[in-house]
């Protein structure tokens, strides 16, 4: 059996369990020639347990128009907004505080994001998450 060659890699961020062949999914994947309904069904089944989150997905399209995909963890900013119970970050960045997170909440987010971050330890992941939170105008207790 011949080895399948990856023709295209596509990255998307789609709400978990809510992929449909309509735009934006259809307009991005349609030209790649993959079966939109098949992708949507597989993606929705794979992310059904994470409803409410935006899940980034990396799709590999092969020369015979088959595909496979890998789901990632939700973006750090959306996890921070979800835990801080805010709709959006500060307009003025770190100069305007819109919420406060505890060290335990930062640790929870860092543990979730650790597989996708460019670091090796939980402490390093916490620093990355803390930096994102501060730039969103979310104060982190003990990180002044």
Q: What's this model's pTM, rounded to 2 decimal places?
A: 0.75
Percent share of the chain, pLDDT over 90: 1
- Distance (Å, rounded) from C-alpha 130 to C-alpha 67? 36
Residue 101's alpha-carbon distances to 29, 64, 90, 91, in angstroms, are: 38, 48, 14, 18
CA dihedral 22, 26, 67, 64 (to 10 degrees): 130
Residues 24-65: tens digit of each pLDDT: 888 888 888 888 888 888 888 888 888 878 888 898 888 888
- Name the average pLDDT for the chain: 84
- Distance (Å, rounded) from C-alpha 78 to C-alpha 4? 35
Tell me, what's the pLDDT at 1?
A: 43
Domains defined for the chain, CATH in brackets = 6-71 (3.30.1550.10), 76-140 (1.10.10.250)
The two tokens of residue 54 are 């935006």
CB contact at 8 A, 86 and 136:
no
């Amino acid at each position: 059996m011949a080895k399948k060659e990856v023709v295209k890699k596509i990255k998307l961020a789609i709400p978990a369990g809510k992929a449909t062949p309509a735009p934006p999914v259809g307009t991005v994947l349609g030209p790649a020639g993959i079966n939109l309904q098949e992708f949507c069904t597989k993606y929705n089944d794979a992310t059904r347990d994470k409803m409410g989150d935006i899940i980034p997905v990396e799709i590999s399209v092969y020369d015979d128009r088959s595909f496979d995909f890998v789901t990632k963890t939700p973006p750090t900013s959306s996890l921070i907004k979800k835990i801080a119970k805010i709709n959006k970050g500060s307009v003025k960045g770190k100069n305007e505080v819109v919420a406060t997170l505890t060290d335990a909440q930062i640790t929870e987010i860092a543990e979730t994001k650790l597989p996708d971050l460019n670091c090796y330890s939980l402490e390093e992941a916490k620093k990355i998450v803390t930096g994102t939170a501060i730039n969103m105008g979310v104060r982190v207790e003990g990180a002044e």
